[in-house]
Amino acid sequence: MNEPGLHRLAVAQLAELVQSRQISPVEIAEAFIDRATKLQPTLNALITTTYDQALAKASLAEAEIMKGNYRGPLHGIPIGLKDLFWTKNIRTTSGSAVTADFLPTEDATVVAKLQNAGSYSIAKTNMVEYAYGGAEHNDLYGAPLNPWDLECVTGGSSSGSGAAVAAGMVPLALGSDTAGSVRSPASLCGLSGLKPTYGLVSKYGVTPLSWSQDHVGPMAKTAEDLAIAMDAMVGHDPRDPSSVYRKPESYFKGLSTDISNLRIAVPSNHIWQVMHPEVRKAFWNAMGALEALGAKIEEVEIPELDYISIAQVTITLAEATSYHAEMIRARPNDYHPGVRRRIETGFFLPANAFVDALRVRSLMERRWNELFATYSLIATPTNPIYAPKFGENEMRTQDGLITTRELVRLTRLFNPNGLPSASIPNGFSLSGMPIGLQLTGKRFDDRLVLAVGHAYQQVTEWHKVFPAI
């Protein structure tokens, strides 16, 4: 039996049905596979599907649960994987013709962890080639379309993951985030998305873009679902040099954290230089809601924000070019022109520019520490605009024109220093496109970030609205 409403349920809701045996993992798998099969021709959210394998794993999960071996809230829950996560004997293209036939001999660590929790993948999701871009067309696989408006971008580079979760093709998907590639598609598609603290989630078996700024993170309907995913994903991995050891803690249990009297900083500089008025209004409405919950909202100036944004771009350029140097010299014409241009530009990057970027990152580390000595969180909009239409280079507002190049200007601020940062649904534009709220904490305060996002979702309904598709 396929339940027609299952695609609208959050992971936590599906888990309750599975645990109470009101519905079986096989029925859930069939429902989401049917949904994905129906919508893929329209949305182009997937690259490789693994439906037969998914059904087999769902059947195994069902047998385990019937025997009383329930592993937890991800047991029997299908997911999507951005197509740069290695999957054993399943092609991992990274969205590129260069690696279109790559068959990993093992799973990425985080994929294995989710499988150990009882989950399974039904598809590898579409993405910007090698995760190097915010919303561009993919020459090989085409661009995923936004379920809220098929003429609009989903945001990148985890574009297929955003589209797939928003449309109910999967209830949970993984992405990678170097400048906002989890948070931006989450925001533009009306989802919750988390960039965890750098080093908390292993990157082993994940094709890199910028090794010192890449983060692996989940995308789902709610902050609660993100916490469930994090409980399964976190853990030290000796195969990842950036992986850190932390005493185990439950992100799900952390959702009950009291946020009253919490001091939240809103940057008074840099953030508001370019901002759609509808995004600005939604943000301040959210601050009012958090104040009603007892939080203290204060505007503060944060020095060097302009510089950290430039540093992020510079570090990405240098590290991406280093990784791709051999391949792009051998097969330049197999890269998307925009991606190729960025990578080749890195060959001309002066060494002192890279060193200066690292110095800025060190300086910002001190600035963040100073800020978090007084404040618990930073709040900003996720994106300064809502999803633009494909080919739209400028968005006209009552305040003037905003270029779509500004899309990840606010998200990239928090990658160089590895701060945990989440996007939470925060309303809609007058045209009906989702808007996101970004919450950022100090390193390893992921539980607090999720707790505030969860508290906000208890007094709002934005995460319960679905596209009409």
Catalytic residues: 82, 157, 181
**Could you give the CA distance from residue 23 to residue 14 in angstroms, rounded to a whole number?**
9
What residue type is assigned to position 134 of the chain?
A: G
- Ramachandran class of 86: left when φ > 0, alpha when ψ lies in -120 to 50, beta otherwise: beta
Please state, as a whole number, how many other Cβ atoms lie within 10 Å of the Cβ of residue 268: 12
DSSP string covering 432-463 = S-EEEEEEEESTT-HHHHHHHHHHHHHS--GG
**Could you give the CA distance from residue 349 to residue 412 in angstroms, rounded to a whole number?**
20
Quick one: how far is CA 227 from the chain centroid?
Answer: 13
Quick one: how far is CA 65 from the chain centroid?
Answer: 30
List C-alpha distances in Å: 245 to 108, 198, 202. Answer: 18, 12, 11
**Could you give the CA distance from residue 424 to residue 221 in angstroms, rounded to a whole number?**
9
Burial class (CB in 10 A: 0-12, 13-18, 19+), 37: middle
Q: Are 309 and 466 in contact (CB under 8 A)?
A: no
Q: Are 244 and 443 in contact (CB under 8 A)?
A: no
Element (H, E) at 232: helix 223-233
**Could you give the CA distance from residue 117 to residue 326 in angstroms, rounded to a whole number?**
38
Please state, as a whole number, how many other Cβ atoms lie within 10 Å of the Cβ of residue 111: 27
DSSP 307: H
Q: Are 201 and 216 in contact (CB under 8 A)?
A: yes
Bond before 157 cis per omega within 30 degrees: yes
**Could you give the CA distance from residue 133 to residue 390 in angstroms, rounded to a whole number?**
14
